[in-house]
A = this chain, B = another copy of it.
Amino acid sequence: MTSESTEKAGRPTDEDLTRRILTTAGEMLGERGYQALSVEQVAKAVGCGKTAIYRRYADKGALVAEVLRSQVEIGAMPDRGSIRADLLEHVLQNQRNQELSPEQSHGLRAMFEPDVFPTLWDSFFQHRRRQGVEIIDRAISRGELPEDVHHDILLDTIAGLTLYRQSVKRIHIDERHFVDIIDALVSTPPRRFADADEQASP
């Protein structure tokens, strides 16, 4: 019992190898995209066997999902006092995550792959939406937004713009543009109607 208490029997998983797999896969994903990414080539580049990868991740999709998840840090969303400051922080957090890989945000498109998306939906999109809803609810209680504001339309407008620019057009958005868009959405907020909106996907 020279080490930690909760040790499993047998040879322990090489966590350093896990890191190397993720970083290498991340690089190759950024360069080639999902389709052209080969598990065999990742293994070769890392210097390990495919076995090591497939023991950790069920399939290529799970690997890539984990790569993307590891690249995206979802921080806390403290109350910054105003809806505009809150939303700006919310959206900038997204941009910051992707700036790490300069133009190689090529990898971000892998998000849309059918084998990747469902896994990311819960841990990323839904999580992010919940943060957004909190921000809007705070604004409502502050009186900055009307009570019948449509949470999802407002949030999806921002998320859509970010996603469209980052993963489709691949052009960075100036912070001032975000300020303008947020300003527009807050000044003239989208209303909720009687109809219920589903929460579909994936």
Measuring CB to CB, which residues of chain A are less than 8 angstroms from any residue of chain B? 33, 35-36, 106, 109, 112-115, 117, 125, 150, 153, 156-157, 159-165, 167-171, 173-174, 176-177, 180-181, 183-185, 187-191, 193, 195, 197-201
Which has the most chain B C-beta neighbours within 10 Å: A117, A150, A165?
Answer: A165
Q: Which residues of B lie under 8 Å from residue A115 when comparing CB positions?
A: 35
A95 to chain B minimum Cβ distance, whole angstroms, is 14
Does more than half of chain A's interface fall in helix, strand or loop, or is it mixed? helix
| Contact A170–B200 (Cβ < 8 Å) | yes
CA distance A42 to B137 in the complex (A): 49
15 residue pairs of the A-B complex, CB under 8 angstroms, read A35-B114, A35-B115, A36-B114, A109-B114, A112-B167, A112-B168, A153-B177, A156-B165, A156-B169, A157-B181, A161-B161, A171-B198, A176-B193, A181-B185, A184-B188
Indicate how many identical chains form the complex.
2
Q: Which residues of B lie under 8 Å from residue A187 when comparing CB positions?
A: 184, 187-188
CA distance A181 to B150 in the complex (A): 11
CA distance A153 to B125 in the complex (A): 23
Q: A160-B165, A164-B160, A164-B164 are in contact. Are A181 and B171 (CB under 8 A)?
A: no
Q: Which among B161, B191, B199 is the interface contact of A157 at CB below 8 angstroms?
A: B161
Q: A157-B160, A189-B184 are in contact. Are A168 and B201 (CB under 8 A)?
A: yes
Q: Which residues of B lie under 8 Å from residue A125 when comparing CB positions?
A: 168
Q: Which residues of B lie under 8 Å from residue A190 when comparing CB positions?
A: 177, 180-181, 184
A32 to chain B minimum Cβ distance, whole angstroms, is 8
Q: Which residues of B lie under 8 Å from residue A184 when comparing CB positions?
A: 184-185, 187-190
CA distance A115 to B181 in the complex (A): 32
| Contact B161–A156 (Cβ < 8 Å) | yes
Q: Which residues of B lie under 8 Å from residue A159 when comparing CB positions?
A: 160, 164
CA distance A38 to B159 in the complex (A): 32
CA distance A40 to B84 in the complex (A): 53
A177 to chain B minimum Cβ distance, whole angstroms, is 5
